[in-house]
Homo-oligomer: A and B are copies of this chain.
Amino acid sequence: MKRKPSTEATSAWIRLMRVQSRVLDCVEQDLKKAGFPPLAWYDALLELSRAPSGELRPVELERQMLIPQYSTSRLIDRLVDEGLASRRECKIDKRGQFVEITEAGRELQKRMWGAYSAAIEKYVGSKLSDADAVKLSGLLDRLGCSCGEMKLPPVAQANANTNETSPSR
């Protein structure tokens, strides 16, 4: 049961690793050069701003962002430290809490989307036709599901047509 991967598969693997890290680097660099915090902050702010009343349980955020629990916990710490979100206790479950995005948080999210969307266009959009982007998405999707177990909840749909919303990573 140890079939070797084909050269084609191996080559795709290498490119997937290389290209992703290069493109991500470029985008993160652009954001940083524009004076913005890391993309993870954007993702969190976006999830929060999308939530019904601008607040989520950390556990929800964790599931949306597909990052580990402790990582969520500390990300929230940083957001709170910067005044971008605030913690609120949860009356019905005293273990838990709510994290609520602040006005500053909403505003930063919107400003970041300007730089972020420009970077996506620069490093992805301008390199591929829409048709090719769709092909690429399709091929990637075939890899994405079921690593070990899969559960992609109703996670972050892209939604860039209304010219105000924005994607998450």
Chain A residues proximal to chain B, CB less than 8 Å: 2-26, 29, 66, 114, 117-118, 120-121, 123-125, 127-128, 130-137, 139-144, 147-148, 156, 158-161, 163, 167-169
Tell me the bound Cα distance from A124 to B131 in angstroms. Answer: 23
Q: Quick one: which of B17, B18, B134, B142 contacts A128, CB cutoff 8 A? A: B142
Q: Are B123 and A10 in contact (CB under 8 A)?
A: no
Q: Which of A25, A163, A167 has the most CB of B within 10 A?
A: A167
Tell me the bound Cα distance from A117 to B139 in angstroms. Answer: 20
Q: Are B19 and A133 in contact (CB under 8 A)?
A: no
Given contacts A23-B147, A120-B13, A128-B142, contact A133 B6 (CB under 8 A): yes
Tell me the bound Cα distance from A3 to B17 in angstroms. Answer: 27
Given contacts A10-B160, A14-B168, contact A2 B124 (CB under 8 A): no
Residues of B within 8 A of A136 (CB): 12, 15-16, 136, 139-140
Tell me the bound Cα distance from A144 to B136 in angstroms. Answer: 13
| Majority DSSP secondary structure for residues of A touching B | helix
Residues of B within 8 A of A143 (CB): 19, 23, 123-124, 127-128
What are 26 A-B contacts with C-beta separation under 8 Å? A2-B117, A6-B130, A8-B137, A10-B160, A11-B134, A11-B158, A12-B128, A13-B23, A13-B120, A13-B124, A14-B158, A14-B167, A14-B169, A15-B136, A15-B137, A16-B23, A17-B169, A18-B144, A19-B140, A22-B147, A26-B147, A26-B148, A123-B143, A124-B143, A136-B139, A139-B139
Q: Are B132 and A13 in contact (CB under 8 A)?
A: no
